[in-house]
Structure 1
């Protein structure tokens, strides 16, 4: 890979993170209310509220607090939670141990289902298989995650009693119980993403099937299956990878509802609780972490796409 292309992408990543930090900090500064007042209660004496605000540096200038927060992000000193009284870094690390595996499992399941369904539909264009996959994909896109999650609980937990309805035993109890607890949330998150990705895969494969190199490969004696999986899918992966990167970012940020349905102690539930408690330190750090993950995933997708199709590097350098 050309160093100039990689450097340009890195500079874009850093500029995006800096702009995002300004936006996140600025938006949270505009929220009404006083965190010190909320923690002390509505009947607290003004002197006590002022003392707590001073202790938490809430009475410092906004610029001072922004640079203090930014320095903490760079050094890993995220401060303490107002509500929990513990370091934010420990809270986030504990919750990420659930959210990241959940998002990875959902993305892996969505990718397997989508690639198989998309290629299957494209290979049977305008036939029964194509219509069936397209109809199921449209249905999957229309399903709300929370409704499908509740339906899974009713069927597999309440009705069949195969899987737990909620909660998480922790990885210390072993991978078996932990994965069993994450099975239904994984399916609830993966179905919608698989439906979207299947449609993208189908369209990308259909576009590649019209190219001359496919006819040349078939004329040289290559079987349809070998041409489809060995050549067509590789060239169709650039748009698919781009959508997968966006989907993984959505999974990381979109676990709030599903984690609350299944009562999972993940990052999404932590953000929900921090917003309710107006714990701005936790909210700010968690949102910035999600933004950083999204930007980093998009950066990795750009790099992978450029490795698959070197023409993207040339286009970027020309622009």
Structure 2
């Protein structure tokens, strides 16, 4: 075998894809050629369709797509009963992967693996993930499960099922943007895991479970929960500077900062920062936003100015702030991330199926 070993496969090009483009030096992220900052102003249904079908939907196509997603929101009494058996001390990701596995047994296209069947399976998972996550959360808190509202948008319905009350227009828009910003990010670990499972010609539910298991890790999607816990630990803007200095002195990771790909500000983080500011102002409570700004300022001074390290906020930092204002429990954070990311996983799995070769790298024996 030729070539040097790149630890963690850093900068290794594993395959070709037409789904997502990233320029880590310039801070660019595009889905199907569109900047994610602009896409964040659309609906999740529009962006989900774009990722999966590779084009913007016509009005009638979007209407049919959205109607199908709304019709598939319900998960049924059997899945809710099993959710009740899940250990309530776990984070929601464990319940989500359990129910996704069970859901495969009930899927009408269970034994079919053609493109049309896989698209239908994918749409069912996109539709049902919000219901699974919110149902688990309510059961965990000793509350009744709330049936989906079949007319609300994807994001508004999620918050409605989580809380039992209709969200404000701003809250609904922000959670839609959150799902969009979370929807895809090229060959991140969970997407690569999902594509690897797909490359064996296993079924789509198995591939998504592979993605869920990978996203759970604190160095991937689990970082969002860690950011929320960090904000609670600091609790005041006055404590932010010392907290950052302590982390750096101890050579500990500052959650929500740094990225394998980006050497500048994560473009998603810019959008999240603006969303965090807006929701803080609507709620007339700037505490969490001010703590975050103090952390960012201290981190910039120590990492960038004093040490010359390009360590900036990543997608998890200000999204954790947004989740605090939306009253999303920390143990739900990674599962909410997955609720947005599912469209990207489906798009990548469908692309893998369409031109498949078994993903099988080699190891250098030492």
Above 0.5 in TM-score?
A: no
> Normalized per residue, which structure has more helix?
1
Please give the TM-score of this superposition, normalised by the length of structure 1. Answer: 0.31
Please give the TM-score of this superposition, normalised by the length of structure 2. Answer: 0.28
The higher radius of gyration belongs to 1
